[in-house]
Structure 1
């Protein structure tokens, strides 16, 4: 069955090919011969004039400006007299941070070689300042081997909800001389510092 189909296809292909070969010369013979009789159009020749290109390798540099003979005179500073009120500039309320250090664990009851080096005063909370609230806050923390502060937490603050955040933030900036035993620095747990907040009267 397939052989018959292939044979028929081959015969049809051969017939189409022979028909095309016969048709192509016929189409050429039937073409308009007047197209070939038109004279060819000549394109004008384009010539470019010869030009010499000059290359300037040594470009003249501009002359250096002359130095001024005399420098410009100094302008006189205007005399401005202003009265400054020191009390008006000091808008921050007065606070006091006691350096009262309590020892919350047994590790701090020995020699006590650790010493405070840097104490940072806390900022007075804006909400407490606007409401005229005073009080105190005790922060407990650990003095590490390098003298920094770790695990700072507010343990006793009166009134509650005003001074905890600023007190903990200030305590984390403290620096201590670490406690040393037998030539080795050790951590001190349960160190406390009490911050007292008082408004300027």
Structure 2
């Protein structure tokens, strides 16, 4: 019985107190907003980039003409007629001999075959002879458009003991090919004479 009385008495009081608190808070908030609105000052700040009137830089810029490098002078022309490649020498311990190449005579406006690499044949150990004796081997060969020696053959020989070494050496020679009208052509019938002399 007592709890029912407290319920009916306390509930209205709690509602009244709660409503009073809400009203008090509402008035406080409203009065604060009004005070802020009255005291606040509106300040406008304009932020921008100051632009000065300047002359057109594109019209004032002076373009300098680039200096062109002068091309290097052309290399001096090489006269094929005066070109003489070096020929491999003979070792000091080897016997002395001469090699003369006959590549034809007469005026030729184009370039004939020119030797680039000549490997001298070695004196065979098996070949015997007396001191001062001279042995001769005449060889004929062709030069193909690539500058290679082909078809080497012995025409004359005073001692066949030297023939194999001579042919092996000639097959390793290199040439500048024959040029006719700007085109490489084979050169036929190049002859070389080898002379072997036995030294003391």
Range into which the TM-score falls when normalised by the shorter chain: 0.3 to 0.5
TM-score between the two structures when normalised by the length of structure 2: 0.47
Structure number with larger C-alpha Rg:
2
TM-score between the two structures when normalised by the length of structure 1: 0.47
